[in-house]
Amino acid sequence: MTGAGAWYLPPLRDGRPADAGLLERRARAAGSTGEGDAPKQALIGGVRCLLVEPQNGPAQGDILYLHGGGYRLGSPVAYIAYAQGIADQAGRRIILPFYPLAPENPFPAALHSIVAVYRALEDSQSAVIAGDSAGGGLTAALCILAARAGERPAGAILVSPMLDLTAQGDSLDRNAERDPLFSKAAVLDSAQLYLQGHAPDDPLVSALNADPADFPSTLILTGSAEVLLDEALAFARKLAIADRRVTLHVAPGMGHVWPLMAPGSPEAAAAVATMAAFTKALKSAVSGASM
């Protein structure tokens, strides 16, 4: 681990039990393991993680990838094949943590876990932080905290990110019939279970309100048909106006988290290739600056 800054995290809070319907949804999702061999597992910062190594050579650094699921669903197990594709093209090890879910573990429990993983990395400041949906929101929150502590990552990748738990974007309604995976109702349900009284406009849960200066070089990927489109576009504009390094990739006709949900599509292949190119460019920029 590099850096020795002071990290501030809001204190952990008690949650409440998940209802039977949510537990059933988690159980059904647990059966979706994707394809590929079971990866290695390790405790990093005391948190259980899956480790996906590139198959075509030694890893040139890490990508800490945070799964989606609206803070109340999801598992790294479903990400194995998807992560393998990213690892092979980017040439980096993918770390997939099992962070705690709401409502049993409301904000900021997931954030405590991923900060612990990040700070335990051998070279955290060369790492790329990535995530989709709620994992994109956690990625943004981790970037904010890391910047405040003086331990910025090399870059961030936000895929279909949840960046506004106040649910104000027009695309939540405009794309409601085009996005089969997510909805405004799902955003509000996620917010209610995750926040449990915490302010929804806090930048640590709604990064659209964050200071752009807290963000490293950032890649934002969003589908033109998804309900979270507007907040992704607004966040990209905010970073660009503040002269932050930001790259925006909009996949025509794609819905929420299409790189994972439509793995055989040309649009998914293009998204993974864009992530790999972004990651390699970060390494090149660092190497060039040190020469």
Annotated catalytic residue: which of 133, 160, 171, 206?
133
d(CA 146, CA 263): 32
d(CA 239, CA 75): 30
CA distances from 279 to 2, 81, 176 (A): 20, 19, 32
d(CA 269, CA 272): 5
Find all residues with CB under 8 Å of 168, minimum gap 6, and list them: none
39: amino acid identity, one letter? P
d(CA 187, CA 166): 9
Lookup result for tokens 């200071």: 211
Residue 96's SS3 state is strand
Locate 280 and state its tokens. 């390699």
Q: How far apart are the first and last CA of the chain?
A: 23
Peptide bond between residue 153 and the one before it cis (omega within 30 degrees of 0): no
168: amino acid identity, one letter? Q
Annotated catalytic residue: which of 126, 190, 217, 226?
226
Lookup result for tokens 């070089």: 217
255: amino acid identity, one letter? G
CA 246 to chain centre: 16
Has 249 been annotated as catalytic? no
Has 256 been annotated as catalytic? yes
Has 24 been annotated as catalytic? no
Q: Which residues are catalytic?
A: 133, 226, 256
